[in-house]
Amino acid sequence: MEASEKKINEILTENKIYEIPPYQRPYSWEKSHARELIEDICQAYQRNDPEYFIGSIITIEKERNRRYEVVDGQQRLTTLNIIFAVMKQLITHPSSVEDIQKRIMPVNPYTDEPEQPRLIVRKQDQAFFQKYILMGEDISSAQEMSETQAKFYDNMLEIKQVVSEFSEVELRRLVNYILEHVYVVFVVTDNFTSAYRLFNVLNARGMSLSNGDLLKNRLFEYCESKPLERSRVEECWNELENIVGIRQLDNFLSHLRTSIKGNKQQEILYQEFDEILEEYKEAPARFAEFLLRSAHHYEKIMENDFDNHLKTQKLISSLHRVAHDEWIPPVLAFLNKPMPDMEFADFVELMEKITYQNWVRRLGKTKRNTVYYQVINLINKGCSADELIETVKKYADNKEFEQLIRADIYHSPAVKAILLRLEQESQDQSVVKQFHGRITVEHILPQKLKDEYWIQRFTPDVHQELVHKLGNLTLLSGVKNSAAQYYSFDRKKEIYEKRNKKVSFDLTKEILEEKEWTKNQILSRQEKLVKKAMEIWGIQ
């Protein structure tokens, strides 16, 4: 291993080519990171600092003094290329433009055709980076940008905004300052293992290594002497990132880890995956393919992408309203290893039942997760549907759940989700209605007796007994009208009718059909809704 201080002049030079390997995360710097780097450099230039360090670049030397694989530092190296691409756009002096061009994207002087760029980014982003960033072609001709490509472009605009205040003479001096006075620590290793050890202890500027980064690096480490495996791992990982999204990758891996192990996370996430990976050490591509299959299943869960399975769509949309996502690992476990004697929709229905029961019962996270872990372990063990159902039953409590549903449910964190699920159940079962925008829970009998209509019909004791019951609650679209909530029933119905046109709730339509709103109406509706709730969430 060799480490030395290098001027940018020695890094961005005609005889060196840098490649971003497939195991690296995509370019991920936000505009704030790009702005910070260029502003720091500009301030150092204006102070006339003799030296300004911007961090380290760790590489594997692939071809003596010429070709390098970038193991760490791609964020700043890519951003440096973008800085020089911006300078090329803003400077008109021919020899300066020619020099900058050679450092980022040489052009054949006889054919005007671009040659190999000095920085080769990931395969799926290379054409965009070369055409619209390094060559500066009009972005309007580009197709839809990926997340990474958008970061290239956004950061180019951000850098351009910072340096546009300089005159051309100042820009040329700034370029010279960057080349001659800005330094990096340039580390050269001769194999992946040495570079990998360094990579795992260093961070890119402001961007900590994620569990996804570390798992990916481990996978590629296992592929070092297996080029075919490496190619397949690269293919799978790139597709996985596109499906899940880079920002959500660690969430996905956390859910997947739980769906495999069926217990509480004991160690750092990537260390637990190290244990799982051991059995795939000789065939890392098989594990990458498993990750990709799981990512497809995870996407279906997160997007509720179960076309032509209306029951499943309804149940998954209901689960997405829950205040936690602990139900995802058992559902993912089932999709990864389906049970031959149980339909997926029936399994999701069982998960919805126990999830809502435990939510309404306000069980703590540890108790909630106990049943999910049991379910995951039974699925992975290959149990029967009967065994699974009997296990879940042990964690249910229909009696307590019904008591809580009958009580002052308005104070439950689950109240809106319960009403929305009851709403779904009351609708045409041939469609799954999606709810958008602001939805509020409305007391029909107001929380305070102000209007004469209510004072005549409810004593304080009866009001206190019924006001927060399920039978007295409905759904409205839009923001609550604090004054209107105390109106008489007829005036309230006028408001409901108007507000219900935005999002049509069947639960609210039923209220509009009532001529009066008295104790009898509330109790009758209470029984009807409690019965429906027990049909949905009772576990028999």
Structure confidence by residue, pLDDT tens digits, 379-400: 999 999 999 999 999 999 999 9
Which among 459, 455, 528, 442 has a CA at the least distance from the CA of 493? 442
Give, in order, the Cα–Cα distances in Å from 395 to each of 240, 322, 346. Answer: 35, 18, 18
Mean pLDDT of 92-114: 85
CA dist list (Å): 73 to 24, 85, 192, 196, 220:
10, 18, 15, 13, 18
User: b/e for 133-169, b at 16 or more Cβ within 10 A?
Assistant: bbbeeeeeeeeebeebbebbbebbebbbebbeebeee
pLDDT for 34 equals: 93
Mind listing the pLDDT tens digit for each residue in 249-284? Answer: 889 999 999 999 999 887 778 778 888 888 888 889
Whole-number pLDDT of residue 480: 65
pLDDT on residue 248: 86
* Mean pLDDT, rounded, for 88-111: 88
At 53, phi and psi to the nearest 5? -95, 140
Confidence of residue 206 (pLDDT cuts 50, 70, 90): very low
Does the pLDDT value for residue 82 go beyond 60? yes
Mean pLDDT, residues 23-41 taken together: 88
pLDDT surpassing 80 at residue 448: yes
H, E, C per residue of 231-274: HHHHHHHHHHHHHHCHHHHHHHHHHHHHHHHCCCCCCCHHHHHH
Domain ranges of the chain: 2-199, 211-303, 310-396, 409-537
Residue 172's Cβ-count burial label (10 Å; 0-12, 13-18, 19+) is buried
Strand order in the sheet with 2-7: 2-7, 182-189, 52-63, 67-72, 17-19, 119-120
pLDDT at position 238 = 82
The Cα–Cα gap between 228 and 285 comes to 9
Of the two residues 537 and 33, the one the predictor is more confident about is 537
Q: What is the mean pLDDT of the chain?
A: 89
End-to-end, the C-alpha distance of the chain in Å comes to 66
Q: Render pLDDT for 144-191 as a digit per residue (tens, 0 to 9).
A: 888 899 999 999 999 999 999 899 999 999 999 999 999 998 888 877
% of the chain exceeding 90 in pLDDT: 60
Amino acid making up residue 158: E
Q: What pLDDT does residue 429 have?
A: 63
| pLDDT higher than 90, residue 143 | no
pLDDT for the residue numbered 207: 42
The four Cα atoms 122, 127, 129, 131 give a dihedral, to 10 degrees, of 170
Measured CA to CA, the distance from residue 532 to residue 155 in angstroms comes to 54
- Give residue 205's pLDDT band: very low, low, confident or very high (50, 70, 90): very low
In this prediction, residue 202 carries a pLDDT of: 52
Distance CA(426)–CA(531), nearest Å, equals 13
The burial class, CB within 10 Å (0-12 / 13-18 / 19+), for 227 is exposed
For range 30-58, the mean pLDDT: 91
pLDDT for 141: 65
Q: What's the pLDDT band for 209 if we cut at 50, 70, 90? A: low
For the purposes of burial, counting CB atoms within 10 Å of the CB of 23, is it exposed (0-12), middle (13-18) or buried (19 or more)? buried
Q: What is the structure's pLDDT at 146? A: 87
- What's the chain's length in residues? 540
Q: Taking the model in full, what pTM does it have?
A: 0.72
Binned at pLDDT 50, 70 and 90, residue 406 comes out as very high
CA distance linking residue 207 with residue 29, whole number of Å: 8
